[in-house]
Amino acid sequence: MTKTAARQADETLALELMSAIRDMAETTCAPDEVELVSVTMDVSARTDAPADAVFETRIDRRTRTILFAGGTASIGGIVVMSATVVYSIHPAAAG
């Protein structure tokens, strides 16, 4: 196994997809905070152009303490990556 200094395009895309899902989760749960519990990524096609991706996010289910969410990354109308994510929801600290 070799070490690389730069991320691969699919690794960059995965991080951007996770960020888009987290942004939506934080907005949905505000002012409460979310904490990542688990994430599953599925790559359906390789890409060399993560900057061209369009992200779609969704809430699958929300309880008082858990948020199930997901999303896809598409390039040229083709889904190249999808993710399902579970967050725990923590009440915002009283200020």
Q: Is the pLDDT of residue 71 over 70?
A: yes
What was the pLDDT predicted at 49?
80
Q: Is the peptide bond before 31 cis (omega within 30 degrees of 0)?
A: yes
Please report the domains of the chain, with CATH numbers, ordered by start residue: 32-95 (3.10.129.10)
> Residue range 36-50: average pLDDT?
90
Looking at residue 44, what DSSP letter applies? -
CA distance 74 to 43: 11
CA distance 59 to 68: 6
Per-residue pLDDT band at 51 (split at 50, 70, 90): confident
